[in-house]
Amino acid sequence: MLDIKFVRENPEIVKENIKKKFQDRKLPLVDEVLELDKRVRELKQEGDKLRSERKTASDAIGALMREKKVEEANEKKAKVTVINDRIAALEKEEEEVAAKLKQNMMTIPNIIDDSVPIGKDDSENVEVQRFLEPKVPDFEIPYHVDILEKLGGIDLDSARKVAGNGFYYLMGDVARLHSAVLTYARDFMINKGFTYCIPPFMIRSNVVTGVMSFDEMDQMMYKIEGEDLYLIGTSEHSMIGKFIDTILDKKELPYTLTSYSPCFRKEKGAHGIEERGIYRIHQFEKQEMIVVCEPEDSMDWFNKMWSYTVELFTSMDIPVRTLECCSGDLADLKVKSVDVEAWSPRQKKYFEVGSCSTLGDAQARRLGIRVKGENGNYYAHTLNNTVSAPPRMLIALVENNLNEDGSVNIPKVLQPYMGGLTKIEVKK
């Protein structure tokens, strides 16, 4: 959410930013916000004036009563009653207008960084850099579900009976590999100096609207019926929510946290062969990282964070590339975002396995996360990034480590987490 003062002073910049994100339907919101903001200030001004008049009248009533001037005192009381009614009406209108103003402000997208490429959707994202040489073996690589089934590691049919499409059972050594990746990712981030945390897996609506846009909320979140609770789509939500309504000590910054959680997503609109299997699902587990820092440090942390994901993948000999997300592919709260994509030798292309974003002070402004400064309090900056999100990681692992006989080599860094096992064999 933008600072209303910024919108008031820079409406054309806000409108141009909306155009850069190809959301022209939101352009009228800027003028509407200015009108609502003007009305809120008018209502406050009139209310303050009336409260001052009420105080003067109330003081006069006391003096008149002491002087036994009952008739004049009653006239003043009648005036106070009229003032009270008007103040009540003003307060009700102010509440309604302020709520509409806030809703509109939360719909207007954040100002993107000048370095963000302009484009309509993810097809116009820009490749930045590749890490490790992508390879395609001289034998055919099956679809990832077929690979995992031959390893005795997945059961989609039973999962469909139990929960429907978009769920899975992982079994045996494949399930163990899944856990090994998460544990390795946890230790990897701890060694980077991040504090490990297991957060709540449900959050309240005020946290949901604090960390994400309304469009994202509709596309992703599962609501708990009859309660003010949502299942998290990523632990970033509850991790940033940890700091809601707090004033942080400047000396304690930055807060660097890495968190494990299951994640639950509706995944509206998912379709196609690459959306089946375990590529796009309703339930998965993830290791995440978040940073809460000084505004001037956020871009440095942004570059550190995506580089950690690249380092993690390349340590497992998985080729990756980074993509700069274009303006039309950025969620409304994001200032800048880089996707990390892993190489798929079967598809002969890269696919997304992680995303790093800086949101400026948007989440902090919504959630009331401030820093106590020498010259007053100010909003912190927040960032988030995927460390590892199995089972997508499993797709990259099994495809890039597949042998012609169907067995899968286990990367050396994961072998200690697999009891020394070096390979997962095909089940006869």
Distance, in Å, from the CA atom of 249 to the CA atom of 271, rounded to the nearest integer, reads: 47
Tell me what percent of the residues of the chain surpass a pLDDT of 70.
98
Distance, in Å, from the CA atom of 279 to the CA atom of 52, rounded to the nearest integer, reads: 63
Res. 317: pLDDT tops 70: yes
Per-residue pLDDT, 147: 96
pTM across the whole model:
0.89
H-assigned helices in 10-140: 11-20, 27-66, 70-107
pLDDT digits (tens, 9 = 90+) for 246-261: 999 999 999 999 999 9
Per-residue pLDDT, 273: 42
Distance, in Å, from the CA atom of 343 to the CA atom of 275, rounded to the nearest integer, reads: 17
Burial call 342-374: b when 16+ CB within 10 Å, e when fewer: bbbbbeeebbbbbbbbbbbbbbbbbbebbbeee
Amino acid identity at 206: N
Distance of CA 216 to the CA centre of its chain: 9
pLDDT digits (tens, 9 = 90+) for 66-109: 888 888 888 889 989 999 999 999 999 999 999 999 999 999 99
Amino acid identity at 319: P
The number of residues making up the chain comes to 428
pLDDT digits (tens, 9 = 90+) for 347-398: 999 999 999 999 999 999 999 999 998 889 999 999 999 999 988 899 999 9
H-assigned helices in 212-297: 214-220, 235-241
Instruction: Using alpha carbons, list the distances in angstroms from residue 9 to 21, 108, 405.
Output: 21, 15, 66
Res. 274: pLDDT tops 60: no
Q: What domains, with CATH codes, occur in the chain?
A: 4-107 (1.10.287.40), 122-424 (3.30.930.10)
Q: Any idea which of 60-64, 271-275, 303-307 has the lowest mean pLDDT? A: 271-275
Q: How many CA atoms lie within 13 A of 239 on its CB side?
A: 27
Question: Mean pLDDT across the stretch 137-161?
Answer: 94
